[in-house]
A and B are shown apart, each in its own frame.
Chain A
Amino acid sequence: MGEPVRLLRDKELKEVVSFDAGLMLGKAREYPKEVEIRGRLSRDLIEEISKVKKEPDWMRRLRLRALEAFEKLPIPKWLEGVESLDLDEIASYVKPKAETAESWDELPEWIKDAYARLGLPEAEARVLSGLTAVYDSENLITKVKEELKAKNVVFISMDEAVKKYPDLVKEYFGKVFPMMDHKFAALHYALWSGGAFVYVPKGVKIANPVEAFFVIGSELEGQFEHTLLVADEHSFIHFIEGCAAPVLPKFSFHDGMVEVYAKRRSEVHFTTIQNWSGSIVNFNNKRAIADEEANVEWVEGSIGSRVTFTYPSTVLRGRGASTKNISIGVANGPTKIKDVGSKAIHVAPNTRSLIISKSISSNGGIAAYRGLVKVLSGATNSVSHVQCDSLILDEKSRAYTLPRNEVEEPTAEVTHEATVGRLGEDQLFYLASRGITEGEAKAMIVNGFIRDVLRDLPLETVSILTKVIELEFSQLGSVG
């Protein structure tokens, strides 16, 4: 007789990662800020951010080019729900009053407290190779284990990388996800701050994951962190991204970006556990390029936020490259929208993609899968499979599946499957007669629903996701 999700190290992991971000951070509290830049987007504002960050001139010019692009580009037609955002009202840059630290003790009390409630110090000590934590616009702490240093792995804040490794950054920054891609990508490049830069040298395989954790602390604030991960040939890395925010009286905006380079025969696992509070409008841009026989695995655990748009994408550029793209979207609450999906662009022959989307809508939430599989002419014998499963937990909630296939290569094999499940009153009554509340029943059914995708994931991811989902439905579920 098994448990829903088999975890060998479950007990240990649960102690470490028992976080529910929204819940643990609770209500927003006051904290000191050193710099806060808000107002209408303009050259002056960009110049000011660049000056505060003391960054090189080439980066300042890149920001200004991005601002021009932002002003020129139209609001994307596929975007809904961002009309409530007034960008002029949102702070473009917020630096909390805290010096960048290398140990937990150096941090001010208020932030130490917040991180402790998120379980970060313990997770860092026990399961991670490295951790960097961003609060508002800046990385406040970055810790790297000896293992990484010894293998010459670079794991630092993106801002520091710009100063320390300008050549490396110039070579890769903004190349996977160009600023001209869409309006909010341009905005991101104009305002980016914070994030992680990772370089894994040839042949280096990092056993334990590294993590970047992002907190938005105040209302009417924008977070535009940029993460750039370069995995050199034959390397392996698992990168975990966590997001949290307290419950804020007004909205804040997240427009982050992740760029991944997976070079020949490297393997990159990129996991996001997004558990923003319901105050965040979340826009996340994620794209990877996979070279010959490289493998990129995305896991997008999209649990929190008010509205989320995110479509992790892999461009399969090298022969035999592959990608697996798993998204788990939870839209729990009357104003909650999850517009999540995956994209796979097959450029080279013998490339493979597997896309699995599991969406759950509850309490009037709307969950949509929006995906794209594109096979270019010449990507011979490429294979793609898309599986979209939706679970609708009550009458008020909705789910949409919007897959798109563009296949230009006749030898390619592209398949799609979709299922929809509903939770009814009879099942709730049945489980209630066993003493199980509605929220608990939902957590159980949701856990069962995503069980088969969890089975193949790294233990760390499974443990965090299970916990977050359990809390989302059993405790927060009833209040929406």
Chain B
Amino acid sequence: MTLKVDSLTVEVSGKTILNKVSLDVEHGEAAVLMGPNGSGKTTLAYAVMGHPSYKVLSGSIELDGTDITSLPTHERARLGLTLAFQNPVEVPGVKLSYLLNVINAKLTKGFDLTYVDPRFVAWARSKASALGMKSELLSRDVNVGFSGGERKRAELLQVMALKPKYVILDEPDSGLDIDGIRIVGETIKEMVSSGIGVLIITHHAEITKFVRPSKVYVLLKGTVALRGGPELVDEVLSRGYEALEVR
């Protein structure tokens, strides 16, 4: 049971950003992808999720043995993959509660704009509160006027509502204070122990103080330069990305 990225080469607007990137995430495992700004971390997240502007030139993406490389994004999500965005876009006109209800409707009975399950609503409310979200955020338009921290939390709430098999968390720890990072860390641990395979993309690796990854990849200039166990985090942090790039 693996999310497997195999020798993926990705082009954006005619420019190759990722070159033969391979990594895998098992069920119930937290893997970390580290790298400096511009190394291609978000590109990888978008390509794996299937953004139409991110063109896979070669290689493949497999989800539990199914090749999803050419599937549209919503199909990948249906198969159990999702993404918590680093900078999620605003969706005016769509309330967060409404989006959550539609997500739940799709999972339980199929698309329905008016379906509301009171048990789900109660679950979402309590999760939101556990994530430290003000309840009024649920009745606001998705990400409109949300602070950086509120966006991160709202992303996690959506991810949990989706009940995915695998999730890519793109910089879940940026823009959060220490309490925020702790709550996010607890939530990720909860996801992992429930069997979700989590790929955490992080620059500063703050989050690894709360979630111990079972493996670590370091992305430099579009290729996986290093791979190893959790000890790799400290090595990278103590030496800095620049020194690694020179090596």
List A residues at the B interface (Cβ < 8 Å).
1-5, 7, 10, 14, 391, 421, 424-427, 429-438, 440, 443-445, 447-449, 451, 466, 470, 474
Contact = CB atoms under 8 A, between A and B. Distances in A.
Interface stretch (B95-103, B175-183, B184-192): B95-103
Interface string B201-245: 000000000000000000000000000000000000000000000
Given A1-B125, A1-B139, A429-B51, A434 B99 contact: yes
B74 interface: yes
A101 B103 CA distance: 46
Contacts of B61: none
A2 B135 CA distance: 12
A168 B111 CA distance: 50
B246 interface: no
Contacts of B13: none
Contacts of A426: 89
Interface of B: 46, 49-53, 72-74, 77-78, 82-83, 85, 88-95, 97-103, 106-107, 111-116, 121, 124-125, 138-139, 141, 158, 162
A1 B91 contact: no
B24 to A, nearest CB: 20
A435 B75 CA distance: 7
Given A3-B116, A10-B114, A434 B95 contact: no
A432 B72 contact: yes
Contact of A466 (B46, B113, B162): B113
Chain B CB count within 10 A is highest, among A14, A429, A440, for A429
A119 B50 CA distance: 41
30 contacts: A1-B97, A1-B124, A1-B138, A1-B139, A2-B95, A4-B95, A4-B98, A5-B113, A5-B114, A391-B93, A429-B52, A432-B74, A432-B77, A433-B73, A433-B82, A433-B85, A434-B77, A434-B82, A434-B103, A435-B74, A435-B78, A436-B74, A436-B111, A440-B102, A445-B91, A448-B93, A448-B94, A448-B95, A449-B93, A451-B93
B53 A444 contact: no
B100 A1 contact: yes
Nearest to B85: A430
A255 B190 CA distance: 63
B83 A4 contact: no
A443 B114 CA distance: 12
A14 B116 CA distance: 14
A434 B121 CA distance: 17
Contacts of B103: 434-436
Given A2-B97, A4-B113, A448-B98, A431 B91 contact: yes
Contact of A3 (B83, B88, B98): B98
B102 to A, nearest CB: 6
A448 B140 CA distance: 11
Contacts of B78: 435
Contacts of B90: 427
A429 B53 CA distance: 10
